[in-house]
Amino acid sequence: MILPTVRDPRFVTIRRGGTLTDSDHQLLALWAASCAEHVLNLFESARPEDTRPREAIEHARAWVRGEVEMMQARAAGGHAMGAARDLRGAARHAAYAAGQAGAVAHVAAHELGAAAYAIKAARAAAPKGEGEAAGRRECRWQRDQLPEAIRELVLDDQRLRNDICWSVFDC
């Protein structure tokens, strides 16, 4: 479980009683999609014929553009996670990252799931003994992609949820 037991109101949209603006929600979705796409090749090299993770990333971006409804992006995310079920290692984590990215349209806090699974994918793909360093590089790359408007929100979320996200944000 990588979601907190108590929902952080900063990741709940204003219309649902939280403080998250639609524009920041969209930035979170785009950032999550970028994190997932950065490691997508680790899935696609194992399953080139399976387009579900790529479709989840595309649906996350299409949701931001207003081209698909939230439920379509969420469903695409679920299908991407289904693509991971019988896999192990980097390919599995990359598919889960894509699934989490698709789910951000539904629950903004899934943004950290996309990032965490992408880091796990980078760690798993690294040569023996180099996983931790690869994970730190991926974490730093992700942080470099953060839009200024959501930077502090995401960094604070990483600090708060690092323990339940396999401590991947120690970078």
**Residues whose CB is less than 8 angstroms from the CB of residue 158 and which lie 6 or more positions away in sequence, other chains included:** 112, 115, 165, 169
Is the sign of the CA dihedral 130, 131, 134, 135 positive or negative?
A: negative
For residue range 37-90, what is the model confidence (pLDDT) as tens digits? 999 999 999 999 999 999 999 999 999 999 999 999 999 999 999 999 999 999
Which of helix, strand or coil describes residue 20? Answer: strand
Provide the b/e sequence for 7-28 (b: ≥16 CB within 10 Å). ebeebbeeeeebebeeebbbbb
H-helix segments, the chain: 22-44, 52-64, 70-84, 89-103, 111-125, 131-145, 148-161
Give the span between the Cα atoms of 155 and 169, in whole angstroms.
Answer: 9
Q: Decide: 8 and 171 in contact? Cβ < 8 Å.
A: no
pLDDT digits (tens, 9 = 90+) for 123-161: 999 999 999 999 999 999 999 999 999 999 999 999 999
Q: Residue 1: what pLDDT?
A: 60
**pLDDT tens digits, 85-118:** 999 999 999 999 999 999 999 999 999 999 999 9
First to last CA, the chain: 21
